[in-house]
Amino acid sequence: MNTPPTDGADVLLLQHLHEDGPGYLGQWLDEQGARWQVRCAEAGEAYPETVRGYRGLAVLGGAWSANDDRPTLRQAEALILEADALGIPVIGHCLGGQLMARAFGGRVERQPQPEVGWLPMHHTGSETARAWLGHAADATVYQWHQDSFVQLPPGAELLACSPACAHQAFALRQHLAMQFHIEITPAKIADWLAHPGEAYPLHVLLHPDSVQDPARMHAATAQHLAGSQALAARIYGVWRSRWVG
């Protein structure tokens, strides 16, 4: 069987919305000398019919719900399943992690309490958790979500939790699904705060323990960005070690 063209890219990135691009992931891939291709659904860029020929697959976040009736979300899930069948490692960020949960048989629902901003996360200390997330059990990571994968897929291992969200990351075979935004950059935060959505001001008032206002968020960015990017480099490095070919 002929391998479909990938335009020479090692990695395919599925982007849903304009404002949720690759961020630090793109920077890290460039630093590694990796060749990558991004397809953005909101920009009208069709997702490929197959991931055959790629070495890795990354699925980015977005303000949509994974349960929305959108053809591109279902296509992303189909590509995730195909990647699994081909042994291609998938890494999912927020909405991307939720789509992985759905594709593999888990469930995504709206959480009673949203998470927005730099918030604590604790990993389980298992061998798999330490391999992906490092030996330090506690980290501060960036969140912007209200939905979450509330039921893990069969065979998945829960890796991390937070006070407001019981399921922050899971591993399944060669894949990692994250609820948090390890690809975050100051530019992405600025873009999101410029258009935070109608619910954000109310969530700041109702959930001050898990939703940060802009001033707190900017101060926390200065404090936690370097640690976030170090953790991201570790996570992406493990993912890259599993690329096929």
List 123, 183, 203, 224, catalytic entry:
183
The structure tokens listed for 175 are 């894949």
CB 13 within 8 Å of CB 58: yes
With vertex at residue 95, the alpha carbon angle to CA 124 and CA 240, rounded to the nearest 5 degrees, is 65
List 40, 77, 93, 94, catalytic entry:
94
Question: Is 183 annotated as catalytic?
Answer: yes
Backbone region of residue 105 per phi and psi (left: phi > 0; alpha: psi in -120 to 50; beta: other values): left
List 145, 181, 203, 224, catalytic entry:
181
With vertex at residue 230, the alpha carbon angle to CA 228 and CA 234, rounded to the nearest 5 degrees, is 115
Question: Is 94 annotated as catalytic?
Answer: yes
Question: Is 181 annotated as catalytic?
Answer: yes
Exposure class string for 5-33: b at 16+ Cβ within 10 A, else e = ebeebbbbbbbbbeebbbbbbbebbeeee
Q: Which helix (H) or strand (E) holds 239?
A: helix 214-241
Residue 196 class from Cβ within 10 Å (0-12 exposed, 13-18 middle, 19+ buried)?
A: middle
What are the residue numbers of the active site? 94, 181, 183
